[in-house]
Structure 1
């Protein structure tokens, strides 16, 4: 079955301009803008230049009877487009052309976009919450928030856009919320949530169930990774367990809770003594092995710390949707 094209999805976005004034089709403008930004264009002038350079390609999918819109026309028209509808159209296209496989990790992460803050114009920084297909390195969907603290409300909106059947959804501690866990399960997926002090009952249960003496002498499923990069060595020790007595009273509050995990990491620079270990706690609705926990956590950290996510991929939809290019 042929996958619906990007132009097909963009043509659904309504055009509120007066018909007798229209020179360039809205679908042409949207298609040009999305293609240019994906290819690295960072301003309306560059989008127009892209259009002139790739006009033959663009005409294979759109009309472009009047040629390429000017950068002023692009900026003016895009400012009138409903950002939510454009965002939904883009996410539906990504859903149609990207199949997530069972067990695939989808990492949900928030980032403040570089260069989006402008004090002179009184413009605050743009913060995006994005869903990444960790295996393929593509953005499945994005939602813009006013600030990082709004991630809790943005994540449910993002989950609504995504096809997550059979996936393992990883979210940092900000998204460790009962309602979010429930929504992930309702999408036919499993969750892997990082636990910190924002969930004190969970944090207390982990400290009681996994004191340092038990972690270092753990007799259950454990897995160790050791990475060296530019003179730095990082060792991570992963353990997983079924629900213990310390979590019994919480298992009724957290839907589908099956696995708890602990990751202890040590970092050493050159010949210096290792730093104090960092402890991370996790809860999951999936029956994870220690190796699977290690793989999922690593993929999430990669997305979280990948500088590319602050650049083209992180910007792919947001500056289009709010006219901020």
Structure 2
């Protein structure tokens, strides 16, 4: 006589398996999603894999992994990558785009997290076999109105907050859908964050990195304008053999760095994707057949190793602010020791720069050389002196949390400040903790 015993949760957890669907099962998989999933939409974007979780041939759950969202503010801030890095490494991020549990709600409380774990255990291998590259990070979105995301929390996913409630409605724009979701991520590699934001990837991952070129988005009239400013910089190269004016090379380098290029090879690669009209506007070398060449990496290297850095710095800051457009809402001030600078023979010091950087665009507004880190405090006024800061928020680390710095920013520059307080100022920290205990506040600029 056939047993009618209802399986316990432990029976199901012990027997459940997760596998890729077969080609002839896709229609059935899509039908279940269309009928039972709250989105009622089985369409997936980009690279994709569909899985089924089953016990004894019964489909208990359906889930899919597909291409990650192009731009999610919370995820991108957590990673800390540039726009260029995001374009070239987004395929290392995968989205758990569908998850349909076909059991009764609360019937098997731990089943969803078990299925997630089983799916993740084989995901990277399946993805490599299908698409030829590995995965570093997973993301998913949980509808606030319908679910609590319990299974993701139980599976050690990290919640990064809520989305803003927009969805892609075309190639270049988004529309509000009035249903913000909770964003969860899960690293699939112990160094996922470090790799995704690394200046250069190790060979194993670098071989899988893509190379997308957004092209030069600066309009031709603006290219001519910045060419004129850069061309006024004294050219240290010998007159004989110059193929490219200094304004041409500096304009290309500025646009390339603004687009995320790092290093001479990346700048030259950016130059190679300039259109013929753009090359003409920048006065690139013209061949006899009428085509305009793009400068190579060696050309940029020779120029930047001979140019006057102080004069270049002044022009670069001016041009980058022009390319930036509107004045930034917030800037950060900080000091850094420049990498790969040669020690001074007498003082054995490396080059220290104190810079003001726009938050959103990551564009330097101004920078000055200082002797060492401690000299940031008296140099703040000099750094901010040429900048229009009325209504701007200035952020700084604990070193610059000083009364005089705060006074200068508010009274002399008409700006606001957000300073960091650490244990080096225990009295101030204690007073702040007492006043802010149990309170929440907005990071929007305050009204004066």
The whole-number CA distance in structure 1 between the counterparts of 2:432 and 2:407 is: 26
Aligned with residue 36 of structure 1, among 241, 253, 256 = 256
Residue 385 of structure 2 aligns to a residue whose secondary structure is helix
Cα 1:223/1:141, change in 2 over 3 Å: same
C-alpha RMSD over aligned residues: 4.0
Under a length normalisation based on structure 2, what TM-score does the superposition of the two structures give? 0.38
The whole-number CA distance in structure 2 between the counterparts of 1:15 and 1:94 is: 20
Name the structure 1 match of 2:281: 61
Under a length normalisation based on structure 1, what TM-score does the superposition of the two structures give? 0.50
Name the structure 1 match of 2:405: 180
Give the structure with higher Rg (CA): 2
Aligned with residue 163 of structure 1, among 388, 391, 415 = 388
**Residue 100 of structure 1 pairs with residue 320 of structure 2:** no
More contact order relative to length (CA 8 Å, sep ≥ 6): 1
CA deviation profile, 1:30-76 (whole Å, cap 9, x unmatched): 11222233334333233333323325254243111353334333212
Name the structure 2 match of 1:139: 363
Superposed displacement of residue 191, structure 1: 3.0
Where in structure 2 are there 5+ consecutive unaligned residues? 1-220, 287-292
Residue 138 of structure 1 aligns to a residue whose secondary structure is coil
Aligned with residue 7 of structure 1, among 213, 222, 227 = 227
Say whether the 8 Å CA contact 1:95–1:163 is kept in structure 2: no
The whole-number CA distance in structure 1 between the counterparts of 2:390 and 2:314 is: 18
The whole-number CA distance in structure 2 between the counterparts of 1:8 and 1:183 is: 35
**Aligned residue pairs, count:** 212
The correspondence of residues 104-253 of structure 1 with structure 2, limited to 5 A, is 104-110=329-335, 116=339, 129-134=354-359, 136-141=360-365, 143=367, 148-152=373-377, 155-184=380-409, 185-196=411-422, 203-204=426-427, 207=430, 209=431, 212=434, 216=437, 223-224=439-440
Cα 1:182/1:91, change in 2 over 3 Å: farther
Aligned with residue 300 of structure 2, among 35, 51, 74 = 74
Residue 191 of structure 1 aligns to a residue whose secondary structure is strand
Say whether the 8 Å CA contact 1:112–1:125 is kept in structure 2: yes
Residue 394 of structure 2 aligns to a residue whose secondary structure is strand
CA deviation profile, 1:252-299 (whole Å, cap 9, x unmatched): xxxxxxxxxxxxxxxxxxxxxxxxxxxxxxxxxxxxxxx34x4469xx
The whole-number CA distance in structure 1 between the counterparts of 2:428 and 2:258 is: 45
Say whether the 8 Å CA contact 2:358–2:365 is kept in structure 1: no
The whole-number CA distance in structure 2 between the counterparts of 1:156 and 1:183 is: 7
Where in structure 1 are there 5+ consecutive unaligned residues? 217-221, 225-290, 298-325
The whole-number CA distance in structure 2 between the counterparts of 1:14 and 1:117 is: 24
Say whether the 8 Å CA contact 1:108–1:130 is kept in structure 2: yes
Say whether the 8 Å CA contact 2:352–2:372 is kept in structure 1: yes
